[in-house]
Structure 1
Amino acid sequence: MNRAAFFPVVIAAAFAIITALVGSTITVLDEWYYSLVQPAWAPPDYMFGIIWTAIFALIALAAVVGWRAAQTRRDAEVMVGLFALNGFLNILWSFLFFRMQRPDLAFYELLLLWLSIAALIWFCARFSKGAALLLLPYLAWVTTAGVLNWQVVQLNGPFG
């Protein structure tokens, strides 16, 4: 693999790892978190790490596939911007939920996160159906997380 072909792989992997690491340092499972009433269907805590690891791998792969399929430099730059915005929103959700202990605000922010994933899917699909398909599990997981987040708000609110 030549240098130019390897560049998107390194950037996407680094971005995914940094986003995951920052998000995980913000995620604190402490007394407050364990005091929250969870819906009966909530996955066990250990599953979140497994699921997020798979999701971040798929996001990185989608970024590489999409970047390589982008037809112009501008398209590639817009794609990188959309992935960066999505990473920021992903981290912000963890900050709002765990650090600020505001599941209510985190839920509303999650709606923006969901929209950013939908925008990524739509934009990537213009160049690569494969990249768009790789993002569908992310959208499904954030949808599930959104329902879980909303139920946590309903079972434990009000917050703040």
Structure 2
Amino acid sequence: MQKTLRIATVIMTCLAVGYFSSIVTRDNIPTWYALLNKPVFNPPNWVFAPVWTVLYVLMGYAAGRIWNLIDRDEANVKRAFIFFLVQLALNALWSFLFFGLQNPMLAFFEILLLWTMIFETYSQFKRIDKVASYLLLPYLAWVSYATVLTGSIWYLNR
């Protein structure tokens, strides 16, 4: 039961981060964001919520798997979890920079750091549990796409 509770705790934490990030996002989509020039590969707005929900569940499940191995490899699990928490905080920060401050340039530089921390989290997880690391690959792919999208929006609206 403790293993299931750990996984559920991390999933709920990730979903809560997503929810609180969406608060600043929601109000700006029909106003400020709607007026921005966007590249042709910008997805429709309805795509973001389901994609992020799936990604938060996957990353939470991955981190829960890592947490469940703390008795086997405490030092590496703690190190990996620190990277996970840093990237999760940076994930939330992006929404506040892009939508809250309405600053695509600052959000672009921040998402580069976010991508780096996700990759490092993936690398740390891979040393402990390959399945957990693989669960982060869709997230890494989406943030790669989001990085190009953020940079393009900044470029088109400078």
Q: State the TM-score, normalized to the length of structure 1.
A: 0.91
Shift of 1:131: 0.6
The number of equivalent residue pairs is: 155
Shift of 1:29: 1.1
Structure 1 gaps of 5+ residues are none
**Over the residues paired in the alignment, what is the CA RMSD in angstroms?**
1.3
Letter in 2 for 1:35: L
In structure 2, distance between residues paired with 1:5 and 1:128:
15
Q: How does 1:5-154 map to 2 (within 5 A)?
A: 5-27=3-25, 28-70=28-70, 71-154=72-155
Compared with structure 1, are the counterparts of its residues 75 and 7 closer, same or farther at alpha carbon in structure 2 (3 Å cutoff)?
farther
- Percentage identity across aligned positions? 34
Structure 2 gaps of 5+ residues are none
Shift of 1:154: 1.1
Q: State the TM-score, normalized to the length of structure 2.
A: 0.92
Question: Residue by residue, what CA displacement relative to the aligned partner does 1:33-66 show, whole Å, maximum 9, x if unpaired?
Answer: 1110111111100001111111111101111222
Shift of 1:80: 2.4
Question: Residue by residue, what CA displacement relative to the aligned partner does 1:93-115 show, whole Å, maximum 9, x if unpaired?
Answer: 00000010100000000011001
Runs (4 or more) in structure 1 with deviation over 3 Å come to none
Question: Residue by residue, what CA displacement relative to the aligned partner does 1:1-32 show, whole Å, maximum 9, x if unpaired?
Answer: x3x22331232122112111111112131421
Letter in 2 for 1:33: Y
Letter in 2 for 1:75: N
Preserved contact between residue 67 and residue 79 of structure 1 (Cα < 8 Å): no
